[in-house]
Amino acid sequence: MYRCMMDYKLLCTDIDGTLLNKDRELSEKTIFQFKRIKDRCSIVLASSRMPEAMRHLQREVDILNNPMIAYNGGLVLDGESIISTTEISLEVLERIVELSKGTEVHISIYNNDDWYVPSMDYWATREMNNTKVTPTVSALPDTLNILKKENKGAHKVMCMGPAEEIAQMYDNLIASYGNDLHVYRSKDTYLEIANKSISKKSAIQSLLKHKYPSLDWKQIIAYGDNYNDMEMLEAVGMGVAVSNAKEEVLSLADDITASNKEDGVALSVAKYFL
C-alpha cells in the first residue's frame, strides 16, 4: 500500500544493485531524471562505497556539492566537510588482520578516501575496475602502522576470498565482536565490516540535524535493494525497492519499481516527481 503522495525534498539512494545498470553505470534515463529534479529535491547517494568511488557519479548528474553517505553511514560528508565519522578501532582492526593470517582472504582497509590493499591481486583489480578508484598498495603491517601514527581506525574493512574462508571469518568475527561490528556478507566471497553503531538511517539522521533541519522523514524518498537499505527504507516517507531486491526488502517497501537493469529508479522518479 502506498503512503500519500507528497512533495519530496530529499532523495537518498543506494548505488550498487539499485541505481547502476548492468554495465555498473548511470543510464541516460537516470541522468536525465536526476538532472530534472535536482534543483527542487536534494539527491544524496548512500552507499558502502568510499567517497572517491561516488564522486564521479555525482559529477555526471551535477550534484558534486551535495552531501553523500559513504561506508553505509560510517562517513557522512557535505562537500569536503565531515558531518559525522565513525570508525572501527585500531585494536579491532588488528584482530581482523590476525584472523586472515594463513588464509587466502584479501583484506582491503578504508579510511575516508584512503584505500589500502596488500597487493594488486584479483580482488583489488576487480574492485578498482568496479569503483574506478586506484588503491594504495601497502603490506598489512605497514598499513596498520600508518593508521596508528595518524591516530585513525577504519571506516570499512572488506574481506574478499574463497567462500569457505569468508564464512569462517564471518563466524569468528560474530563470535568475538558481534556487539561491536556490522559483519555483512554482501556475496559468498565478500565480507564487509563496519562499526555497528552506524547505518544509512543514522546517517540520514545526521543530515537532518546538521544539513536539513527544516525537513522531516516524511519528506524523504529512498531507494534500495539489500539488507543494509532496510532501516532507511522503513524510516522515510516513501521507501522504494527495485524489483531485484532481496525478498525481505521487497516485503517492507512502500512501493516496488523495475530492476536496476531496467532503470527502476529513473522510472520511479518520473512517477513521483511530476
Same domain, 16 and 56: yes
Per the domain annotation, does 2 fall within a domain? Answer: no
Same domain, 77 and 108: no
Q: What is the pLDDT of residue 131?
A: 87
Same domain, 190 and 214: no
The count of domains in the chain is 2
Q: What is the pLDDT of residue 130?
A: 86
Per the domain annotation, does 218 fall within a domain? Answer: yes
Give the CATH number of the domain where residue 255 resides.
3.40.50.1000
Q: Choose one of 195, 213, 239: the last residue of a domain.
A: 195
- Sign of the four-CA dihedral 205, 110, 16, 177: negative
Contact 116, 136 (CB under 8 A): yes
Q: What is the pLDDT of residue 224?
A: 98
Per the domain annotation, does 56 fall within a domain? Answer: yes
Same domain, 251 and 210: yes
Per the domain annotation, does 1 fall within a domain? Answer: no
Q: What is the pLDDT of residue 2?
A: 44
Domain range for 127 is 90-195
Per the domain annotation, does 188 fall within a domain? Answer: yes
Query: For residue 168, what is its C-alpha cell?
Result: 569462517
Per the domain annotation, does 5 fall within a domain? Answer: no
Q: What is the pLDDT of residue 182?
A: 92
Q: What is the pLDDT of residue 1?
A: 37
Same domain, 174 and 43: no
Same domain, 60 and 184: no
Q: Choose one of 169, 195, 221: the last residue of a domain.
A: 195
Q: Is this structure's pTM higher than 0.85?
A: yes
Per the domain annotation, does 214 fall within a domain? Answer: yes
Q: What is the pLDDT of residue 53?
A: 94
CA distances from 238 to 39, 190, 232, 269 (A): 20, 30, 10, 12
Per the domain annotation, does 257 fall within a domain? Answer: yes
Same domain, 31 and 155: no
Same domain, 137 and 149: yes
Same domain, 133 and 227: no
Give the CATH number of the domain where residue 144 resides.
3.30.1240.10
How is the chain classified by DSSP, letter by letter? -PPPP----EEEE--TTTTS-TTSS--HHHHHHHHHHTTTSEEEEE-SS-THHHHHHHHHTT-TTSEEEEGGGTEEEETTEEEEE--B-HHHHHHHHHHHTTS--EEEEEETTEEEESS--HHHHHHHHHHT-PPEE--HHHHHHHHHHTT--BSEEEEES-HHHHHHHHHHHHHHHTTTEEEEEEETTEEEEEETT--HHHHHHHHHHHT-TT--GGGEEEEE-SGGGHHHHHHSSEEEEETTS-HHHHHH-SEEE--GGGTHHHHHHHHH--
Same domain, 80 and 202: yes
Same domain, 234 and 157: no
Q: Choose one of 130, 160, 195: the last residue of a domain.
A: 195
Same domain, 54 and 95: no
pLDDT by residue for the chain (274 residues), tens digit each?
344 457 999 999 999 999 999 999 999 999 999 999 999 999 999 999 999 999 999 999 999 999 999 999 999 999 889 999 999 999 999 999 999 999 999 999 999 999 999 999 999 999 999 888 999 999 999 999 999 999 999 999 999 999 999 999 999 999 999 999 999 888 899 999 999 999 999 999 999 999 999 999 999 999 999 999 999 999 999 999 999 999 999 999 999 999 999 999 999 999 999 9
Q: What is the pLDDT of residue 80?
A: 86
